[in-house]
Amino acid sequence: MKKNIFFNITILLIILTCITPTFVIADDIDTSNETMNITNEIEQNNLQEVSASSVKELQINSRSYVVLDRKTGQILLSKNENEKRKMASTTKIMTAILILEKGNLQDIVTVSKKAAGTGGSRLGLKTNDTIKVEDLLYGLLLCSGNDAAVCLAEYLSGSVKEFANLMNQKALELELNQTHFVTPHGLDSEEHYTTSYELAILSNYALNNEKFKEIVGTKNYTVTINGFPKTLSNTNELLGNLNGVYGIKTGFTNGANRCLVTACQRNNMDIICVVLGADTKKFRTQDSIKLIEYTFQNYEYVNIENKIQTEFEQWKRENLNYFSVEKGICNNIDLYYSPLTYSSFPVLKDKISTLKINFECNFHLIAPIEQNTSIGKIKVICDNEELMSCSLLISQSIKKKNSFFYLFYFLKNYPFLLKT
């Protein structure tokens, strides 16, 4: 009788487990048993150190970091940003973008034995489970499922090896020359690496995909496996806790240490912060907060286009008369400048006063000159560093003097000679 009761209770528990939504909270495999309350961490930090006059005073633990301005691609803050490092589960940014660009979100996938047996952080897939590609992506990016990564790789390419080839092809397409992939999940391998700068470039590209942006900005999501619901929670500790954060991915392995890529937007500034190689989850959180807050407190967009336009008009008034065109039919020229890559540019607030516009051009020209020929540059300088430049172009063509020109000139200016 007791055996029957025990058996019935066991069966009931199994059934409840299958039909009741489960709640998954998983960071990339964590052997440290480290716990912390992120909200308290942000409050305790009180951002007291971000008022430092230099980023060097922030005491960043991460071995490598970069803060990238999304509008201009400008590096705002960095340390060892071109150093090759293991990237752990931030790898899954590339995995996801390949699936979004080449796969079908509504396809149903059957989980292989290889995918189901993948270790580390997991979605919890078992062999022969069926799941939609879209749900696999949520499992990949929210709870950082390595099993989901392998499942997606096999779905798109048939094998992890072939999928890695696609990853590396995409890296070359994006000119990520210091990045190489071996797996879709990022478990440690000597041939699997990136740099904090190139990871920021990849992240910026991925965030231009609206579905990717939607997924990494999701705090909780319920997927369906074999027809049963399973609720996932995003491992990104800053999402929903730090003002303006809207993605994107955590990472941890013993070789990579703690990694975090964060996208944050406030007002008109949109940045990506990458920290690689932090000793603990607490450090990666603190580092990210310090770098993000320092950036928003100390950088400001300057309207470069207005500044150039104003100074260009003044420069023309003062300098156009100094141009000479050797052998040209005229010396009168007009100039314009090529379109700016960016109309505004992020500048440290205490450096704005050092902004200046330099004009470099050749005043002595030789005909013939084609319309739109570049004769110099306009450079935007800040604190003795060039921020951007554009070309000075001549707006009309100037022909070279020929025999007909000289004949006409002779007849016009010396008509009396013909009467003798």
Question: Catalytic positions, please?
Answer: 89, 92, 144
CA distance linking residue 372 with residue 383, whole number of Å: 31
Within its chain, how far is the Cα of 101 from the centroid? 17
CA triple 140-144-150, angle to 5 deg: 55
- Tokens encoding 105: 């979100």
DSSP code string of 178-220: T-B-S-SS----TT-BB-HHHHHHHHHHHHTSHHHHHHHT-SE
SS in 3 state form for 355-394?
Answer: CEEEEEECCEEECCECCCCEEEEEEEEECCEEEEEEEEEE
DSSP code string of 231-281: EEE---TTTTTSTTEEEEEEEEETTTEEEEEEEEEETTEEEEEEEEEESSH
Distances (CA, A) of 158 to 84, 199, 311, 389: 29, 26, 59, 47
- Residues contacting residue 107 through CB under 8 Å, at least 6 positions apart: 132, 133, 155
Residue 109: other Cβ atoms inside 10 A = 21
CA distance linking residue 89 with residue 76, whole number of Å: 24
What is the phi-psi region of residue 213: left when phi exceeds 0, alpha when psi lies from -120 to 50, beta otherwise? alpha
DSSP code string of 112-179: PHHHHT--SS-----TT-EEEHHHHHHHHHTS--HHHHHHHHHHHHSSHHHHHHHHHHHHHHTT-TT-
